């Protein structure tokens, strides 16, 4: 065998140890200087990316933008608050989860999916589900089961304290052991139950939307306003930490003068169009006159014979809801009102129709609404369809930049921006893509050859939030309500904002139904 | 082991090894330095024969984070191995397997569409596959015992053998 060892390469000294000459050592260590160059270049590359980000941040004055305040909230302390659920459908299950209660079947499914641990890290709000009220036995039973036997966020299963099922919500309100109620019924009960609950001395967390007509909206506003009870409307959207950044960006005038806001809802499924009386296999869901207290379900709405269609698909009917306005636009409006405090518009015009879902529904499946705010010199648009799922975002347009606000936040500088003219010319700020991107959580796309460091750099700014931990926004919204009950203060969706939202929705609804432009009379506080 | 390379052959193979090592090391380092990075998005795109595996990984956040860690540190270890010429054959083989995993999760076959943007135009053969094949070439034509830290290990072994032969002769 002819070996590769150079003649002068190595020798063995007398003690039998290997001795290397310089040439061999250089060959052995040939990669080391390259590793040095690598380290040097990698450091340079990183500091370039960081400097580029920092320069944009400095230019925009956003040095303190990246500190989410949500997590600095103090630990929950105080007596356990006893909460009653009025209505226990799908949404109530989500609310209970946000409060720290899940069923044992959910526990099992989370165990298989590996998401149990993440839910268990949610903070214990020190509350009890002390009572459940639902006109449908099956739903009431579901609520009772979660409250009595379910898993709690503190790791315990079940409770020794009695959980009571109430036949009517009034029975629950008459029970002095209940401190607060969560109203998660169909919308036609919201205003009445909220007003009655506050009159009975209960704190209220009520799902949107707040009211179906002006009279009940005025009544609930008056009752809540004249009490010391804590009211929160269920709009978890603003608890998304991204909204804090969005608010800060707007406060710093980075968008310039805002004169147009476009909000949208696009969905394209039967369930999204509120056809929900069938299960996944296409069979009718359970429920009949033996298990549903139909008179109580109808409440103050017109008396009609029992209908499983109406029971499950109530959103489709004007007797119980305002459709997309009440269910979807409310979130859009709340997001914008939280950011800009636009309040009640001067006028509203709606138009649309039932163009796709040809069932017996009242609500339009394509709808456009234009709200004018001459005092604020801006227009709010809502454009929605239940027959296309093309995502269109939520865009706040200013003359210096526009902001697309959703799960993530993107701010794109305007080519003709007066404020950023110099930076755009100097190349510090680009207009071909977003100049600021805030994206919580993870789930980035990457692979060795297709997406690398360049991909991240091109996004400008990225951030993890709350130590990279995903936190349920519903939990944060309930938590805010609970904190206010314990320590005082006003939740972000208080009765003032609920009223502004309620009126805005009713203006758009009235405009659609009456096919005319409606206005708000701020003196008489009336839609005209 | 018995390899005869001319000088240009040796250096071109060494350069190929160093370049791929550099690429792996930076790929791993970039993932390591980016706390937001996760293979979730990539695996969600998975099609073809590896999609079952990808589903299994993404179905559990625990498994996913293990895969992320193994991937990140694996890339860096393979990169450093190739760059320094340390355990290069193992590094070449592991690198090839890793790249084949990427390739098989999203091969550019006709009819497979990905939302992930590609940096070029590929049909069946893409750069991942070419890089994997290059690593196989490096596995078959190793250089680290001539240029690289493996030289020291190689020499030590040879010296030991030599000593034993000498002892026998005595």
Confidence (pLDDT) at A308: 94
Q: Which residues of B touch A443 (CB under 8 A)?
A: 38, 40-41, 44
Q: Does A12 touch chain B (CB under 8 A)?
A: yes
Both tokens assigned to A11: 């020798």
Cβ pairs A/B, distance under 8 A: 136
In chain B, the percentage of residues whose pLDDT exceeds 70 is 94
Residues 6+ apart with CB under 8 A from B86: B80, B144, B148, B149, B150
Q: Does B147 touch chain A (CB under 8 A)?
A: yes
Q: Which residues of A touch B74 (CB under 8 A)?
A: none
Q: Residue B129: which pLDDT band, with cuts at 50, 70 and 90?
A: very high
Residue B29 has pLDDT above 60, yes or no: yes
Residues 6+ apart with CB under 8 A from A284: A277, A278, A308
Q: Single out the residue of A214, A212, A219, A174 nearest to residue A195, CA to CA.
A: A219
Q: Does A37 touch chain B (CB under 8 A)?
A: no
Which among B59, B60, B84 has the least Cβ separation from residue A31?
A: B84
**How far, in Å, CA of B85 to CA of B143, rounded?**
8
Beta bridge partners of A527: A520
Residue B126: exposure state from Cβ atoms within 10 A (0-12, 13-18, ≥19): buried
**How far, in Å, CA of B115 to CA of A390, rounded?**
15
Q: Note whether B39 contacts A446, CB cutoff 8 Å.
A: yes
**How far, in Å, CA of A192 to CA of A299, rounded?**
9
Phi-psi region of A429 (alpha: psi -120 to 50; beta: other; left: phi over 0): beta
Domains and CATH numbers, chain A: 241-276+319-470+519-527 (3.30.360.10)
Q: Does A26 touch chain B (CB under 8 A)?
A: no
Confidence (pLDDT) at A445: 26
**How far, in Å, CA of A380 to CA of A295, rounded?**
39
Interior/surface letters A305-331, b for 16+ CB within 10 angstroms, e for the rest: eeeebbbbbbbbbbbbbbbbbbbbbbb
Q: Give Rg (Cα) of chain A.
A: 29
Per-residue model confidence as pLDDT tens digits over B82-92: 999 999 999 99
Q: Sign of torsion, CA A256 A260 A265 A266?
A: negative
Q: Single out the residue of B40, B127, B100 nearest to residue A446, CA to CA.
A: B40
Both tokens assigned to A316: 């489709």
Confidence (pLDDT) at A117: 83
Taking the CA of residue A145 and the nearest CA in chain B, the distance in Å comes to 27
Is-contact A213 A221, C-beta < 8 A? no
How many other β-carbons are positioned within 10 Å of the β-carbon of residue A72? 7
Among all residues of chain A, which has the CA nearest to that of B81? A31
**How far, in Å, CA of A263 to CA of A384, rounded?**
8
Which among B14, B40, B117 has the least Cβ separation from residue A442?
A: B40
Confidence (pLDDT) at B54: 86
Listed by number, the residues of chain B in 56-115 with a beta carbon closer than 8 Å to a beta carbon of chain A are 59-63, 75, 80, 83-85, 99, 102, 106, 115
Chunk chain A into consecutive blocks of 10 residues (it has 528) and report each block's average pLDDT, rounded to whole numbers: 43 55 87 91 84 72 56 60 95 93 93 82 90 97 96 89 94 96 97 97 96 97 97 83 82 94 91 89 92 97 96 97 95 92 97 96 97 97 94 92 85 92 84 77 29 25 41 85 92 96 98 98 96
Which among B25, B45, B148 has the least Cβ separation from residue A30?
A: B148
Q: Sign of torsion, CA A455 A459 A461 A466?
A: negative
- A265 CA to centre of own chain: 14
Taking the CA of residue A110 and the nearest CA in chain B, the distance in Å comes to 10
Listed by number, the residues of chain A in 94-153 with a beta carbon closer than 8 Å to a beta carbon of chain B are 113-115, 117-118
Both tokens assigned to A176: 């002095």
> Could you give the C-alpha distances from A370 to A352, A518, B134, in angstroms and in order?
12, 11, 61
**How far, in Å, CA of A283 to CA of A292, rounded?**
19
Q: Which residues of A touch B14 (CB under 8 A)?
A: 30
Among all residues of chain B, which has the CA nearest to that of A2? B2
Q: Does B156 touch chain A (CB under 8 A)?
A: yes
Average pLDDT score over residue span B151-162 = 82
> Could you give the C-alpha distances from B131 to A448, B19, B124, B140, in angstroms and in order?
10, 10, 14, 14
Q: Note whether B42 contacts A445, CB cutoff 8 Å.
A: yes
Confidence (pLDDT) at A9: 44
**How far, in Å, CA of A138 to CA of A383, rounded?**
37
Which among B22, B42, B116 has the least Cβ separation from residue A38?
A: B22
Per-residue model confidence as pLDDT tens digits over B37-52: 788 878 887 888 888 8
Q: Note whether B85 contacts A31, CB cutoff 8 Å.
A: yes
**How far, in Å, CA of B125 to CA of B143, rounded?**
26
- ipTM value greater than 0.95: no
Taking the CA of residue A365 and the nearest CA in chain B, the distance in Å comes to 29
Confidence (pLDDT) at B114: 77
Phi-psi region of A162 (alpha: psi -120 to 50; beta: other; left: phi over 0): beta
Residue B124 has pLDDT above 80, yes or no: yes
Taking the CA of residue B8 and the nearest CA in chain A, the distance in Å comes to 15
Is-contact A342 A354, C-beta < 8 A? no
């Amino acid at each position: 065998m002819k070996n590769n060892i150079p003649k002068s390469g190595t020798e063995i000294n007398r003690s039998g140890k290997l001795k290397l000459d310089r040439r061999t050592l250089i060959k052995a260590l040939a990669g080391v200087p390259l590793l040095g160059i690598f380290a040097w270049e990698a450091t340079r590359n990183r500091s370039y990316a960081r400097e580029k980000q920092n320069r944009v941040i400095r230019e925009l004055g956003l040095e303190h933008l990246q500190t989410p305040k949500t997590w600095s909230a103090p630990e929950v302390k105080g007596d356990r608050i006893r909460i009653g659920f009025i209505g226990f459908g799908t949404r109530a299950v989500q609310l209970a989860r946000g409060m720290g209660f899940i069923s044992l079947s959910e526990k099992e499914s989370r165990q298989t999916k590996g998401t149990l641990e993440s839910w268990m890290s949610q903070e214990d709000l020190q509350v009890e589900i002390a009572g459940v009220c639902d006109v449908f036995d099956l739903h009431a039973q579901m609520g009772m089961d979660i409250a009595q036997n379910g898993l709690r966020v503190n790791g315990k299963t079940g409770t020794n304290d009695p959980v009571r099922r109430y036949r009517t919500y009034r029975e629950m309100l008459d029970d002095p052991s209940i401190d607060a109620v969560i109203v998660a019924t169909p919308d036609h009960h919201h205003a009445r139950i909220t007003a009655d609950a506050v009159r009975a001395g209960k704190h209220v967390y009520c799902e949107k939307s707040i009211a179906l007509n002006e009279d009940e909206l005025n009544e609930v506003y008056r009752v809540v306003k004249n009490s010391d009870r804590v009211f929160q409307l269920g709009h978890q959207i603003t608890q998304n930490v991204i909204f804090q950044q969005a608010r800060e960006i707007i406060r710093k005038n980075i968008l310039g003068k805002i004169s147009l806001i476009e909000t949208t809802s696009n969905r394209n499924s039967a369930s999204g169009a509120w056809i929900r009386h069938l299960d996944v296999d296409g069979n009718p869901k359970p429920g009949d006159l033996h298990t549903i207290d139909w008179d109580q379900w109808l409440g103050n709405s017109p008396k009609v014979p029992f209908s499983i269609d109406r029971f499950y698909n109530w959103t489709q009917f004007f007797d119980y809801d305002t459709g997309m306005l009440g269910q979807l636009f409310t979130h859009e409006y709340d997001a914008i009102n939280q950011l800009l405090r636009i309040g009640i518009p001067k006028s509203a015009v709606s138009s649309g129709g039932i163009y796709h879902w040809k069932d017996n529904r009242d609500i339009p499946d394509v709808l456009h609404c234009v709200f004018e705010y001459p005092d604020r010199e801006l227009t709010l648009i809502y454009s929605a369809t239940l027959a296309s799922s093309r995502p269109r975002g939520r865009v706040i347009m200013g003359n210096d930049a526009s902001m697309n606000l959703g799960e993530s936040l993107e701010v794109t500088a305007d080519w003709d921006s007066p404020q950023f003219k110099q930076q755009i010319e100097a190349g510090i700020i680009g207009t071909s893509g977003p100049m600021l991107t805030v994206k919580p959580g993870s789930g980035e796309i990457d692979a060795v050859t297709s997406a690398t460091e360049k991909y991240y750099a091109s996004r400008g700014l990225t951030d993890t939030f709350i130590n990279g931990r995903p936190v349920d926004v519903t939990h944060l919204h309930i938590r805010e309500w609970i904190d206010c009950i314990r320590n005082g203060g006003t939740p972000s969706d208080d009765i003032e904002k609920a009223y502004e939202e309620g009126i805005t929705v009713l203006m758009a609804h009235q405009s659609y139904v009456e096919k005319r432009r409606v206005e708000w009379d701020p003196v008489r506080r009336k839609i005209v | 082991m018995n390899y005869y390379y001319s000088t240009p052959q040796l250096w071109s193979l060494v350069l190929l090894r160093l370049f791929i090592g550099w690429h792996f090391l930076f790929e791993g380092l970039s993932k390591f330095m980016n706390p937001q990075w996760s293979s979730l998005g990539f695996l969600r795109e998975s099609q073809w024969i590896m999609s079952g595996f990808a589903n299994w990984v993404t179905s559990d956040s625990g498994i996913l984070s293990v895969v992320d860690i193994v991937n990140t540190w694996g890339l860096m270890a393979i990169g450093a191995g190739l760059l320094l010429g340390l355990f290069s054959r193992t590094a070449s083989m592991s690198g090839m397997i890793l790249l084949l995993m990427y390739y098989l999760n999203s091969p550019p076959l006709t009819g497979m569409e990905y939302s992930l943007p590609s940096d070029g135009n590929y049909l069946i053969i893409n750069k991942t596959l070419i890089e994997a094949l290059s690593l196989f070439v490096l596995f078959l034509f190793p250089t680290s015992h001539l240029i690289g830290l493996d030289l020291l290990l190689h020499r030590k072994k040879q010296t030991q053998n030599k000593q034993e032969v000498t002892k026998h002769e005595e």
